[in-house]
Amino acid sequence: MIRLLFPIWSGRQRLANLLRYCSKNSLLDQGVQVHAASLRMGFGFDLMLSNDLIEMYSKCGVMDTASLVFDRMTERNVVSWTALMCGHLQNGNARATLSLFFQMVFSCLKPNEYTFSTNFKACGILNVPEIGMKIHGMCVLTGFETVPVVGNSIVDMYSKCGRINEAVMMFNVLPVKNLISWNTMLAGYTLAGQGEKALLWFHRMLENGEIPDEYTLTTVLKACSRLGKIREGSMIHGFLITSGFPCSGKAAIAGSLIDLYVKCGNLAEARRVFNQIGEKNVISWSALILGYAQEGNLAEAIELFKQLQNNSKQGDGFVLSSMMGVFADFALVEQGKQMHAYAVKVPSGSEISVSNSIVDMYLKCGLLDEAERLFNEMPARNVVSWTVMITGYGKHGIGKEAIRLFNQMQSNNIEPDGVTYLATLSACSHSGLIKEGEEYFSQLCRNRWVKPGIEHYACMVDLLGRDGRLKEAKNLIENMPLKQNVGIWQTLLSACRVHGNLQLGKEVGQNLLTLDGENPVNYVMISNIYAEAGYWKEYEQVREMAKAKGLRKEAGRSWVEIDKVVHFFYGGDDTHPMIDKIHQVLKEMERRMKEEMGYVHGVKFALRDIDEESKVESLRVHSEKLAIGLALCHGGWDEARVIRVFKNLRICGDCHDFIKCLSKIVKVVFVVRDANRFHQFKDGLCSCRDYW
């Protein structure tokens, strides 16, 4: 009898080994053949092989088939359930993982350590600490809390969910603390923006005799980078050199060092580290490329990207997405198109993250039709794809289209996340869709998986504030179950300014200065609301307070791309070689607008206590007008064309009125992207309907 069974069971083991090989190497076609062979040999309901099949299909990204195998099993064990949970998690469906976990618990099957650790990861990804705490309670009851892999996963879950105090408590009760435990806490503090504590934790780790690995060092360097602590980062760099650590051979550490020096404004040192790397990889290239781009040195960033291509290294999805993001932020549509053309030719260009970045680039450059075409042609879309388009519609003031897309997304079984809800609420706010915004906010509050954050409440404050419901907005802030922050009060103060409610504005301004008296934006906003009400004495007092603290707000600047060259302007800028011609064109346009339309400057937007003539002069040299003046100098204004101008701050009321009138007397369509949204000016009207 044993002789008869032996070849059968050895065949079973060979099938298992083949499936595990296919799983390890993501060989789907071969795995399907092994699956067929197992069915022919009579192993269709074999527990071990079915578990291996679930893992193989999961690793190959075919979750429908993995689930089908699971559903057809006549017998399941904890490995079966855990394999399918891991598959869903690895393929980006953490909700399905948690859903399976509770189904398994209700079926009276006991989880093992891998089941628990997988579901703690799912809780961290979804940011659902309440569910994580329930699973933690199960671990305590079953004794799994003391198992190292589970204990570390609990620490990681609390860290990822922003519950850093609970993470510390769990760390302290771990019976065995290994390097993974320490690294998890380091990453937790860094992720929570508590870089100082991350550095203290690193020193404590060294005092406990733990030897840092590559992950430890990259995490600590990231903490230094975020804090801007170049001294501490340089000391770690020195420690690595003196200890003989092969920085140049460790891609992640070299990339982290470059990122540190870039973030701390020392591009020369970043370039030196880069030049010392023997075998440069994409991480190193991307860190330096993005460093130059973020510093505004786009020419050097583009040159480095060309060198990357010339070195026979194809930019990976991260580099392509990041570069596309730079072109999107600066609205460099020509460079973005070139990068799009390059992405089509390389394998990584087909990655969904790259496609999302390309759509985002076209949206941010104001090319809505092109973005829509690409979005509709995408072979696969994830939640980010839909969110990018919803955000784009919102920024263009097409709120109803954003809502249509949000509903379509859900009908396609793509569950919205917190960012999607934020994009939808913002779209409602920009388009004055008050009722719809309230409806989606209520839907969010009822959502089991996504909880409203401070940014969602800020959107509702903006929605109510724009509608003049200032008291309701204030009550919402005071009664929300979250800690108030500067941003949400700034949103309400902006609404007070729009509706001229000085009394409430003063109260809100005081709250702002109490929360953050070192933020120059707060002083500017408060002084502006006094200026618009004509309270010049109070205006000067607030300005003097900011000046005494040495605070300066970000300067407003606008830019326009002409013949593939980007021209930047600041308010009152007189450095451009064509500045005299620009002023001449603008004055000619102003003369025609006065004669044909009775245009007058909105001097109330010149927020200074000076005479009327001086106010007019100050309004004439706003950065967006100078950029438009240059564009009119190149190409004229008698032929139908589109001029795109971009601004880092919100467009002022006078410039908005000026461009509206200008679009009435010339054949040009003006598209202006400010910090909040797009404005398309055509035939004397703006797409925002003066609601921005």
Q: Does 60 reside within a domain?
A: yes
- The answer to whether residues 612 and 548 belong to one domain is no
Q: Does 106 reside within a domain?
A: yes
- As a whole number, mean pLDDT of residues 593-622 equals 63
Number of domains in the chain: 4
Q: Which of 552, 586, 619 is the last residue of a domain?
A: 552
The answer to whether the beta carbons of residues 32 and 15 sit under 8 Å apart is no
The pLDDT value given to residue 230: 87
- The answer to whether residues 528 and 676 belong to one domain is no
Q: Does 674 reside within a domain?
A: yes
The pLDDT value given to residue 416: 93
Is the pLDDT higher at 274 or at 421? 421
- As a whole number, mean pLDDT of residues 185-201 equals 90
Q: How confident is residue 611, by pLDDT bands cut at 50, 70 and 90? A: very low
- The answer to whether residues 523 and 568 belong to one domain is no
- The answer to whether residues 24 and 145 belong to one domain is yes
CA torsion 95-98-102-107 (nearest 10°) is 100
The pLDDT value given to residue 344: 87
- The answer to whether residues 635 and 504 belong to one domain is no
Q: Pairing relation of β-strands 685-686 and 678-682?
A: antiparallel
- The answer to whether residues 100 and 9 belong to one domain is yes
Q: How many CA atoms lie within 13 A of 209 on its CB side?
A: 2
Query: What is the DSSP code string of 37-65?
Result: HHHHTT-TT-HHHHHHHHHHHHHTT-HHH
Q: What's the rounded Cα separation, in Å, for the pair 478 and 191?
A: 28
3-state class (DSSP) for residue 484: coil
- The answer to whether residues 296 and 264 belong to one domain is yes
- As a whole number, mean pLDDT of residues 376-386 equals 92
Residue 244 belongs to a domain with what CATH number? 1.25.40.10
Is the pLDDT higher at 293 or at 408? 408
167 contact partners, CB below 8 Å, separation of at least 6: 155, 156, 158, 159, 184, 185, 188
* Cβ atoms within 10 Å of 204's Cβ, excluding its own: 12
- The answer to whether residues 200 and 307 belong to one domain is yes
Q: What's the rounded Cα separation, in Å, for the pair 331 and 561?
A: 9
pTM beyond cutoff 0.85: no
- As a whole number, mean pLDDT of residues 161-188 equals 93
Q: Which of 552, 573, 592 is the last residue of a domain?
A: 552
- As a whole number, mean pLDDT of residues 351-356 equals 91
Q: Which range among 219-228, 425-434, 510-519, 605-614 shows the weakest confidence by mean pLDDT?
A: 605-614
Whether pLDDT at 605 is above 70: no
Q: Does 332 reside within a domain?
A: no
Whether pLDDT at 604 is above 70: no
The pLDDT value given to residue 297: 77
pLDDT tens track for 532-545: 888 888 988 998 99
- As a whole number, mean pLDDT of residues 190-218 equals 89
Whether pLDDT at 9 is above 70: no
Q: Which of 141, 171, 201 is the last residue of a domain?
A: 171
Q: Does 603 reside within a domain?
A: yes
Is the pLDDT higher at 614 or at 157? 157
Query: What is the DSSP code string of 61-130?
Result: T-HHHHHHHHHT-SS--HHHHHHHHHHHHHTT-HHHHHHHHHHHHHTTPPP-HHHHHHHHHHHHHHT-HH
- As a whole number, mean pLDDT of residues 321-331 equals 83
- As a whole number, mean pLDDT of residues 40-51 equals 91
Burial class (CB in 10 A: 0-12, 13-18, 19+), 478: exposed
Is the pLDDT higher at 242 or at 465? 465
The pLDDT value given to residue 101: 97
- The answer to whether residues 89 and 198 belong to one domain is no
Query: What is the DSSP code string of 563-591?
Result: TTEEEEEETT---STTHHHHHHHHHHHHH
pLDDT > 70: percent of the chain: 94
Q: Does 283 reside within a domain?
A: yes
What are the Cα distances from residue 505, in Å, to 465, 502, 509? 12, 5, 6
Whether pLDDT at 19 is above 50: yes
The pLDDT value given to residue 688: 83
Q: How confident is residue 247, by pLDDT bands cut at 50, 70 and 90? A: low
Q: What's the rounded Cα separation, in Å, for the pair 8 and 16?
A: 13
Closest CA to 476 of 448, 506, 437, 450: 437
Q: Which range among 372-386, 567-581, 597-611 shows the weakest confidence by mean pLDDT?
A: 597-611
Q: How confident is residue 248, by pLDDT bands cut at 50, 70 and 90? A: low
- As a whole number, mean pLDDT of residues 570-578 equals 90
The pLDDT value given to residue 350: 80
Whether pLDDT at 608 is above 60: no
Q: Does 147 reside within a domain?
A: yes
Q: Which range among 50-54, 251-255, 667-671 shows the weakest confidence by mean pLDDT?
A: 251-255
- The answer to whether residues 268 and 152 belong to one domain is no
The pLDDT value given to residue 6: 39
pLDDT > 90: percent of the chain: 54
Is the pLDDT higher at 456 or at 344? 456
Q: How confident is residue 314, by pLDDT bands cut at 50, 70 and 90? A: low
Whether pLDDT at 54 is above 90: yes
Query: What is the DSSP code string of 158-178?
Result: HHHTT-HHHHHHHHHH-SS--
Q: How confident is residue 291, by pLDDT bands cut at 50, 70 and 90? A: confident
Whether pLDDT at 483 is above 60: yes
Q: What's the rounded Cα separation, in Å, for the pair 217 and 234?
A: 12
- As a whole number, mean pLDDT of residues 372-396 equals 94
Mean pLDDT of the residues in the chain: 88
Whether pLDDT at 558 is above 70: yes
- The answer to whether residues 543 and 565 belong to one domain is no
- The answer to whether residues 223 and 259 belong to one domain is yes
Enclosing domain of residue 293: 176-312
- As a whole number, mean pLDDT of residues 230-253 equals 78
The pLDDT value given to residue 613: 47
Q: Does 378 reside within a domain?
A: no
The pLDDT value given to residue 1: 35
